[in-house]
Amino acid sequence: MYRRISVFVFLLAFVLTSSLFSTSTAQAGWVNGIAGDVATSRGTVGPNSNSTRIMIAGVVLTVELAETASAQEKGLSGRSSLPIDHGMLFILQRPGYWGFWMVDMKFPLDIIWFNSTRQVVFTEPNLPPCTPQSCPVITPSVKSMYVLEVNAGFIASHQIGIGRMFIFLDH
């Protein structure tokens, strides 16, 4: 009986400690907590990339995770296409007014910005690739922590609007 109580107390202490650590991590750096959550479910989709699955508006997408500065700088540039059920999810280090441009892109995109609770805060549909004469930076009017790049037409096809949320599926 004493052994069972000791094991129960140990397990309870472990669960509480883990819970407190997770809460602390989430408050100190929410992106780090999410990156840790999706780390166990990654697979290779693109060239040397990590991926996971998300759902938005009832649609499941396989998304490459752009978490490092070099992956974020490169994005989808240089590719000739993107499968219809794929995208790239930029996981940013802190909320901010993150600007994106279509440099070196070969196909149009929809770009969706999300806040720290994964709610849509800004969208920019049907962005064409840049031309040498014009390559504007699209910057949202509100802060975001996640940015999703998908094929052009996704926003309209799935009625993605402000407040819509995405969820991670693979954890």
What mean pLDDT is predicted for residues 90-104? 95
* Three-state secondary structure call for residue 67: coil
Is the pLDDT at 24 greater than 70? The verdict is no
Q: What is the mean predicted confidence (pLDDT) over 110-120?
A: 98
Percent of the chain whose predicted confidence (pLDDT) is above 70: 71
Task: Give the pair of three-digit tokens for residue 110.
Answer: 């929809």
- pLDDT at position 49: 54
Mean pLDDT on 55-63: 98
pLDDT at residue 139 is higher than 80 = yes
pLDDT at 95 over 80: yes
Task: Tell me if 78 sits within 8 A of 106, measured CB to CB.
Answer: yes
pTM: 0.73
Higher pLDDT, 45 or 99: 99
67, 72, 76, 79 alpha-carbon torsion, rounded to 10°: -100
Indicate the pLDDT class of residue 69, thresholds 50, 70 and 90: very high
> Phi first, then psi: what are they for 110, rounded to 5°?
-105, 140
Mean pLDDT of the chain: 78
**For position 159, what pLDDT does the model report?**
97
Structurally, at CATH architecture level, domain 30-168 sits in Sandwich (2.60)
- Tokens for 164? 């819509």
pLDDT at residue 43 greater than cutoff 90: no
Is the pLDDT at 142 greater than 90? The verdict is yes
pLDDT above 60 (res 30): no
Residue by residue, DSSP assigns 108-149 as: -EEEEEE-TTSBEEEEEEEEPPPBTTB-PPB--SS-EEEEEE
